[in-house]
Structure 1
Amino acid sequence: MNLASSSRSSFRRAAAGVAIAAWAAAAPAAERPWIEVRTPHFVVVANTGEGTARDVGWQFEQVRYVFETLWPWARHERGRPFVVFALRGESDMRALAPKFWENGREGTVGVAVSAPDKDYVALQAGVALPDNLRTNPYFYAYWGYANRALEASFPVTLPPWYQRGFSDLFGNTLVRGKDVHVGRLIEHHLRRLGEASRVSLPEMLAADWKSKYVTDDGWRRTFDAEAWMFVHYLVFGENGALRPKLNRYAEQLRQGRPSPPAFAEAFGELAPLASGFSLYISRQLYGYVAIKADLNIKAEGFAARALSPGAAAALRAGFHAAMDRPREARALLEEVRRVEPSSVLADEVEALLLDREGEKEKARAAYARASDRGSESFYVHYRRASLMRQPGASKEALTLMAKELDQAVRLNPDHAWAHGTLARVLSDLEPGTRAIEEAKRAVALEPSVAAHRLALTGALWSASRSEEARREAQSALALAADESDRKNAQEWIDFMNRPDAGSGRTGGAADSTAGAAGGDAGFQKDWMPGAAQACEAGHGDACAALAAVYQSGDGAPKDVPRALLLFEKACTASELKACVIAAYLKLRGHDVPKDEAGAKKLAAKACSGGEASACQLLKSMPR
């Protein structure tokens, strides 16, 4: 989950972990009619007037246009919805995002959050934007859009200076009639740069997500201010001469090249850049760019319709689910069931809630129900197929998985994991050209992800193209981002080098790597006694495999506390993904005691070991 908010006074960045409030969700807003306005790339859900909803949609289209004009590497998933809630007043905002009024917080006029199936922004419409405004009150609405664009464009862990500085730069975008201003100054960053000791440029560039500059509140404010100013310099400094180099650096990151050599190749020697940046900080005047709005986008041409009370409540429930507010989400789902018992939107939200809580069987049933009722969510179809994945699946099951994944890639042709998972299924069901093409599509979309290379390895191997398969496996090994990637790639290489391997159907080798795509391990009971012995002997992978069984209840009675103990044991044996899962269980407190301190310790260990997902989790935890 990715979360951001605009505070009324200080625009503090929001933490992802939230306390659950007991009060009912969205009562005041439910009394007003809701409408939906669809632009080419956004869905505006509003309880304002239709004109305001159209204007909000137009502004977001302009933001998107400018983003892609300035940064040619930008990529968006065409089938991943981006929902913008336009709300009439503070009471509506408070009902949708209550956490920003809890524990003495001052409220918000804008918040951004991402879920597995879609991205959201909520904003209070009608906030004044005077001519002398410097910091946009909707800062984190646009910050959320920029951050999501970065995540879609770079399927790797970005350096903190780049991700934070870039998102801050774009967060202060202002849409002004016929112009869009990018690069306006941020007051609190300027103050910080004038008051605090600075981080040296080499230190800033070298900092990772576990650095004190990111994890310590005081240092992070300085780091964020300097990262913002550095990106500002790279975009607008030296009369724009550095911007092509910044784009070249971005493209190398997208291809999977590590940041230090990518930066050195794009910018050359660091000393002249550091000197230029130092002079830039000392300036009193800074430029920004005003880009002409795309006047071909006509607000009056957007499709608009009234939403039923059930549909409006289900959409708000999805926002609460993304914010990790299950109580509010389920309260709204109860409203939906009373008025629309067969609501597909409600099925989708319920499936997401169950999936997050580790209720895999119930989640699988909810995804199946949504799919059978005609869901247009790519994620419903992708996730249903992923949860069906297990070794030795029948032809009937494989056929159903392929059908679901075909639907997923139809609805979202840019979702690399759906293409990769479809390639794995087809490698078992009908090896050949189609499986290879789906895997190649996954690689083309996310060339730096090792798991997609392994999907292509399996597709090529099952089609008896063994030499090409070996090359792809070596590529996957070179691209491995963590120990799990390296292990999966090495297992493929070892398998293909066995004298008895032959070429063709992959059996266990293909299934052992399929789990990286988000599937179910599908372990069988006859395997478990041997795994238990191996776990006791200190084999972390065996502990993790057993833990997955007890967590899901697939192959043994569900026992989450036992699963947690096993995940922690695997973590002790340096199975870093097990550390992350154990951290999530402790952080969320589903079926086990909530333990934020313990979660942070587990995530820190995995992050220090190079597990990217652990570093992302650490970023989202309350400080």
Structure 2
Amino acid sequence: MGDDALPAAAAGTAMLSKRLTGWALMAVCVIIQPAGVATTPFVYAAEHWVEIKSPRFSVITDAGEKRGHEVATRFEQMRAVFSNLFLKGRTDTPAPLTIFGFRNTKDLGAHSPQWKGKAVELSGYFQQGRDRNFIVLDLSAQQRWRVVFHEYAHLLINSNLQQMPSWFDEGIAEFLSTLSIEGDTVQIGLAPEGQEQFLSVNQLMPVEELFAVQRDSSIYNDGGDHRSLFYAQSWLMVHYLMDKKLLGKMDDYVADRNRGASVSEACLQTWGMTARSLDRELKDYLAGAHVASSRFKVTIDATKPVYASRALDRVDVDAELADLHMHMPDRREQARAEFEAVLARKPDQPVAHRGLGYLYLDDDDVERAARSFQRAAAADSDDPYVHYYAGVLRLRASSHTSEEIARGRRELEQAVALNPGMADAHATLGQLCAMAGDYEMGASALRRALLLKPREERYVLGLANILMLQKQWDAAESLLRPPALILSFRLGSRPRSTRGYSSPQPGKGVLSHQLPSPS
């Protein structure tokens, strides 16, 4: 199906523990599950499930209400730290986040990603999709928080900051992955276990090489010590820049690189030292005691959020788990069977009808998809996903009559009214508006989608296309050029003069205050 319509399977590929550095990956192994585990729905037997809803998260767990509150609180705190550091006290996520907390490894194993047909043993993982995101946790594992905090940091980075170098993204994610919370004080910058030792026994990469790594570079995607060193040194670089109050000039560095400066030239213009000088600085910083003793404290609101909790029937839990599986490329057909099994037990279960409708639409079976969405809407008219998928259905219709487009717009307008943070719903609404010739509304919807998800190239191209249809050639060309200013930090330093480049999008990548001195 079209990439611009529904969440693609590729977008849902689980970002597993491979993002950890190599020393930590040694603890992750593949286990052999019985042959039926991968395909038989719901092989475990948990008796009591609850859903905990905090202001921004939904936690579904079989570990009890108290543990569910703990999980929701930890994620609210993680979000608050990121927001206070980078975004003037606010964050956006382009798709809702559901967190599954399993009470033990066995329960999680029935729902973990697969490698060569076998379940992978891990303590937690992040499953991304365009319409919604999931984090899955083994609440009995000691390393559960670091894995998912790293991935949740990536979700926040991708949702709120414009495009940055790979080392910055990975360094920030590692930097935040070890946060420690006590009351209203959060410590960040703690070295991941074994990180300093790993760096001390391996020769550091030259800064020119580290800064040149891109997301399609072999070092970023291949396994082994080179990738492990990339992750570890990215953390060290962010720690150094944060400690020296130099991270606030990252916008200048990126702007210089976008203007064609080499890595070394950009380093010299930004931080007053060449790449080779920065090599020496980084080695001295690692060798000193400061990296081990530096702690950065951030104050957050210690008031516990108001939670809503409810017991879940097992059939409703099974529908939610099937929805998770539907977003996993290696479990999609399993999800189909699970949705059907749920509906055999509870014919009006809305999540199951919605999920089957999505799968039918993915099969280009528009008629069956429409019937499933109608039944889902009848069971739960306030479900924004149902209205979103129904709007996508109109986009996928064989004929785009004015009536079909109008119906699709109404569905998508209802979806974003129920959940204003659904970036893809805004983008799809923009497409339908443009198809109807309503370019102003189309551009407005796509701009909103870009505010929610500034790194999504599909949205940039869609908005540029509308601007060209309006003959706004200069605006379209400007949009398609690499941004000269990516974000504006105020971490103890001020960026250079703007020198003619444009400001970042409002609320995107602007730090709210000076970072406290390390203690």
- Same fold by TM (over 0.5)? yes
Contact 2:354 2:386 in 1 (8 A): yes
Find the counterpart in structure 1 of residue 404 from structure 2.
397
Question: How many Å apart are 1:313 and its aligned residue?
Answer: 0.8
Question: How many Å apart are 1:418 and its aligned residue?
Answer: 3.3
Find the counterpart in structure 2 of residue 385 from structure 1.
391
Q: Report the secondary structure of 1:115's partner residue.
A: coil
Question: How many Å apart are 1:207 and its aligned residue?
Answer: 1.4
Stretch deviating more after TM superposition (54-63 or 326-335):
326-335
2:227 is matched by which residue type in structure 1? R
CA distance in 1, matches of 2:480, 2:113: 45
Find the counterpart in structure 2 of residue 186 from structure 1.
192
After superposition, what is the alpha-carbon deviation per residue over 1:501-525, rounded to whole angstroms, capped at 9, x for unaligned?
xxxxxxxxxxxxxxxxxxxxxxxxx
Contact 2:123 2:144 in 1 (8 A): yes
2:274 to 239, 248, 270: 270
Stretch deviating more after TM superposition (311-320 or 116-125):
116-125
Q: CA separation of 1:447/1:186 partners in 2, compared to 1, >3 Å: closer, same or farther? A: closer
Find the counterpart in structure 1 of residue 43 from structure 2.
27
Unaligned runs of 5+ in 2: 1-11, 484-519
Q: Report the secondary structure of 2:124's partner residue.
A: strand
After superposition, what is the alpha-carbon deviation per residue over 1:239-261, rounded to whole angstroms, capped at 9, x for unaligned?
xx1232247768x69xx989978
Stretch deviating more after TM superposition (169-178 or 58-67):
169-178
Find the counterpart in structure 1 of residue 316 from structure 2.
311
2:249 is matched by which residue type in structure 1? K
Stretch deviating more after TM superposition (412-421 or 276-285):
412-421
Find the counterpart in structure 2 of residue 551 from structure 1.
none
Question: How many Å apart are 1:343 and its aligned residue?
Answer: 1.5
Find the counterpart in structure 1 of residue 232 from structure 2.
225
CA distance in 2, matches of 1:56, 1:202: 40
Contact 1:5 1:11 in 2 (8 A): no
Find the counterpart in structure 2 of residue 243 from structure 1.
247
CA RMSD of aligned residues (A): 4.0
After superposition, what is the alpha-carbon deviation per residue over 1:42-100, rounded to whole angstroms, capped at 9, x for unaligned?
11111122122112211111111111112228974467321111222222222232648
Q: CA separation of 1:13/1:141 partners in 2, compared to 1, >3 Å: closer, same or farther? A: farther
Find the counterpart in structure 2 of residue 438 from structure 1.
445
Question: How many Å apart are 1:304 and its aligned residue?
Answer: 0.7
Find the counterpart in structure 2 of residue 197 from structure 1.
203
Q: Report the secondary structure of 1:86's partner residue.
A: strand
CA distance in 1, matches of 2:232, 2:157: 19
Find the counterpart in structure 2 of residue 499 from structure 1.
none
Question: How many Å apart are 1:140 and its aligned residue?
Answer: 1.1
Contact 1:450 1:479 in 2 (8 A): no
> Which has the higher Rg, Structure 1 or Structure 2?
1
CA distance in 2, matches of 1:447, 1:98: 28
Q: Report the secondary structure of 1:96's partner residue.
A: coil
CA distance in 1, matches of 2:266, 2:338: 48
1:227 is matched by which residue type in structure 2? S
2:79 is matched by which residue type in structure 1? R
Alignment of 1:16-55 (within 5 A): 22-23=36-37, 24-29=40-45, 31-55=46-70
Stretch deviating more after TM superposition (46-55 or 332-341):
332-341
Q: CA separation of 1:367/1:282 partners in 2, compared to 1, >3 Å: closer, same or farther? A: farther
Question: Which structure shows the bigger proportion of residues in helix conformation?
Answer: 1
Find the counterpart in structure 1 of residue 85 from structure 2.
70
CA distance in 1, matches of 2:218, 2:402: 52
Find the counterpart in structure 2 of residue 343 from structure 1.
349
1:125 is matched by which residue type in structure 2? L
CA distance in 1, matches of 2:429, 2:261: 31
Find the counterpart in structure 1 of residue 425 from structure 2.
418
After superposition, what is the alpha-carbon deviation per residue over 1:165-211, rounded to whole angstroms, capped at 9, x for unaligned?
22222222233455433221123433332233331110110112232
Q: CA separation of 1:312/1:267 partners in 2, compared to 1, >3 Å: closer, same or farther? A: farther
2:55 is matched by which residue type in structure 1? P
CA distance in 2, matches of 1:276, 1:386: 53
1:164 to 158, 164, 170: 170
1:22 is matched by which residue type in structure 2? G
Q: Report the secondary structure of 2:44's partner residue.
A: helix
TM-score under structure 2 length normalisation: 0.75
Q: CA separation of 1:440/1:46 partners in 2, compared to 1, >3 Å: closer, same or farther? A: closer
Find the counterpart in structure 2 of residue 523 from structure 1.
none
Q: CA separation of 1:151/1:93 partners in 2, compared to 1, >3 Å: closer, same or farther? A: same
CA distance in 2, matches of 1:350, 1:20: 27
CA distance in 2, matches of 1:330, 1:345: 12
After superposition, what is the alpha-carbon deviation per residue over 1:115-145, rounded to whole angstroms, capped at 9, x for unaligned?
23222112222556xxxxxxx4421111121
Find the counterpart in structure 2 of residue 112 from structure 1.
126
Question: How many Å apart are 1:153 and its aligned residue?
Answer: 2.1
Find the counterpart in structure 2 of residue 57 from structure 1.
72
1:419 is matched by which residue type in structure 2? H
Q: CA separation of 1:27/1:72 partners in 2, compared to 1, >3 Å: closer, same or farther? A: same
2:76 is matched by which residue type in structure 1? E
1:111 is matched by which residue type in structure 2? Y
TM-score under structure 1 length normalisation: 0.63
Aligned positions, number: 457
Q: Report the secondary structure of 2:123's partner residue.
A: strand
Find the counterpart in structure 2 of residue 279 from structure 1.
284
CA distance in 1, matches of 2:253, 2:418: 31
Question: How many Å apart are 1:335 and its aligned residue?
Answer: 3.5
Unaligned runs of 5+ in 1: 129-135, 481-623
CA distance in 1, matches of 2:447, 2:113: 44
Contact 1:172 1:183 in 2 (8 A): yes
Q: Report the secondary structure of 1:10's partner residue.
A: helix
Contact 2:58 2:72 in 1 (8 A): yes
Q: Report the secondary structure of 2:66's partner residue.
A: helix
Q: Report the secondary structure of 2:335's partner residue.
A: helix
Q: CA separation of 1:392/1:52 partners in 2, compared to 1, >3 Å: closer, same or farther? A: closer
Find the counterpart in structure 1 of residue 157 from structure 2.
150
CA distance in 2, matches of 1:14, 1:379: 35
Contact 1:453 1:472 in 2 (8 A): no
- The alignment status of 1:471 with 2:487, answered yes or no, reads no
Q: CA separation of 1:459/1:46 partners in 2, compared to 1, >3 Å: closer, same or farther? A: same
Contact 1:4 1:140 in 2 (8 A): no
CA distance in 2, matches of 1:322, 1:257: 39
1:410 is matched by which residue type in structure 2? A
Question: How many Å apart are 1:34 and its aligned residue?
Answer: 0.9
After superposition, what is the alpha-carbon deviation per residue over 1:477-527, rounded to whole angstroms, capped at 9, x for unaligned?
4359xxxxxxxxxxxxxxxxxxxxxxxxxxxxxxxxxxxxxxxxxxxxxxx
- The alignment status of 1:83 with 2:84, answered yes or no, reads no
Q: Report the secondary structure of 1:67's partner residue.
A: helix
Find the counterpart in structure 1 of residue 14 from structure 2.
3
- The alignment status of 1:94 with 2:99, answered yes or no, reads no
* Identity score, percent: 24
Alignment of 1:319-334 (within 5 A): 319-324=324-329, 325-334=331-340
1:86 is matched by which residue type in structure 2? G
Alignment of 1:454-465 (within 5 A): 455-456=462-463
CA distance in 2, matches of 1:146, 1:34: 27
1:96 is matched by which residue type in structure 2? H
Q: Report the secondary structure of 1:400's partner residue.
A: helix
Find the counterpart in structure 2 of residue 543 from structure 1.
none
Q: CA separation of 1:416/1:34 partners in 2, compared to 1, >3 Å: closer, same or farther? A: closer
Question: How many Å apart are 1:312 and its aligned residue?
Answer: 0.9
Contact 2:84 2:90 in 1 (8 A): no
